[in-house]
Structure 1
Amino acid sequence: MPMQYETSDTVCPVARSVGVVGDKWTILVLRELYMGTTRFEEIQIQTGATPQMLTSRLKALETDGLVERKPYNEKPLRYEYQLTGKGWDFYPVIYALRAWGEKWCKGDEEGVAMHFVHRACGHDVGLASVCPHCGVPVERKDLQASISERFLDERTARREAFKRK
């Protein structure tokens, strides 16, 4: 059952959506889940969230039906987090934020953080949601993702810094 938000008194879908996913931490948690990160500690490392912040965001995403918790270890009991159909349906929003951020929030010299290749034709789609080579609209399942060396180094450095703490 979805949580009640202060926006429940409006029929505006934007206001209601922001009530579910409208903060930095929730967006970053979802980014990690789309990248295949499913365990609490690695999500914490890559988002920089405190354990309390991450716990509250994961619980809210679970309550709202975007994420489900599944045990991966019995003793001690540990969970991983998987996107539900509802969670995967949010992916185009993250994809659009990525495209906007690549265009407006960084310099050209930084390069693209993630590359997406259309599996059907083998061409890089760039920042588009339609393959520029074959003209087919693409969804996440249609794309092969690869991380840039610079972004991979950044993620590795965060993991190493966390281990040194």
Structure 2
Amino acid sequence: MARVSEKASTVCPVARSLDIVGDRWSVLVLRELFMGATRFEEIQIQTEATPQMLATRLKSLEADAMIERHPYSEKPLRYEYRLTEKGRSFYPVVHALRAWGETWCKEKREKVAVRFVHRECGHDVGLGNVCAHCGVPVERKDLDATMSSRFAKEREQRRAVFKGK
């Protein structure tokens, strides 16, 4: 992952953005952080990245000010990862990928993997970023998420496989 000083010589904001988050692993790490994971092991379990791949992406995202490390244990020294303001502002991109994937990348009989409810009014926001019920634009902090049973089971199976290693 390129640092700001190493980025492509272009003024194109898409190319510059892809220098930071233009690979599967970085986006999956950010997805997990938005879903509430903060520790290396849980992020690794759910992204299925190798430890080396994950460590590289976390360092890169930290260098690009998308995340910050915070110690949660001193002996042994362990860190958790938190989104910065810059990282939190990436949520609309993850949300758009989710909406696109729900629309175009699954079979019609499949249920929505994650359902989001607007905390303020209690209504499902569907795939949009504006609550259809009250018309308020929503951000991740405004939403309660509920995973489908199939998605929850998939995530739990990853934990079980990881713990069995």
Shorter-chain TM-score: what band?
over 0.9
| Alignment: residue pair count | 164
Displacement after TM superposition at 1:7 (Å): 4.2
Displacement after TM superposition at 1:89 (Å): 0.4
> 8 Å contact 1:5–1:19 — kept in the other structure?
no
Q: Confirm whether residue 96 of structure 1 aligns to residue 96 of structure 2.
A: yes
**Which residue identity is paired with 2:60?**
A
Displacement after TM superposition at 1:26 (Å): 0.4
1:138 aligned residue? 138
2:63 aligned residue? 63
Displacement after TM superposition at 1:8 (Å): 3.2
Q: Confirm whether residue 54 of structure 1 aligns to residue 57 of structure 2.
A: no
Displacement after TM superposition at 1:13 (Å): 0.5
Displacement after TM superposition at 1:108 (Å): 2.0
1:103-142, aligned counterparts within 5 Å?
103-142=103-142
Question: 1:32-55, CA deviations, whole angstroms, 9 ceiling, x for partnerless residues?
Answer: 000000010111010010000000
**Which residue identity is paired with 2:122?**
G
Question: 1:57-112, CA deviations, whole angstroms, 9 ceiling, x for partnerless residues?
Answer: 00000000010001101111111101010100000000000000000000122210
Question: What percent of counterpart residues are identical?
Answer: 68
**Which residue identity is paired with 2:68?**
E
Distance 2:157 2:73 in 1: 27
Gaps of 5+ in 1: none
Report the TM-score when normalising by structure 2: 0.96
User: Which portions of structure 1, spanning 4 or more consecutive aligned residues, are displaced by more than 3 angstroms?
Assistant: 4-8
> 8 Å contact 1:129–1:137 — kept in the other structure?
yes
> 8 Å contact 1:5–1:16 — kept in the other structure?
no
My pick for the range that moved more, 136-145 or 42-51, is 136-145
**Which residue identity is paired with 1:121?**
C
Distance 1:152 1:160 in 2: 12
Report the TM-score when normalising by structure 1: 0.96
My pick for the range that moved more, 6-15 or 45-54, is 6-15
Displacement after TM superposition at 1:144 (Å): 1.2
**Which residue identity is paired with 1:116?**
F
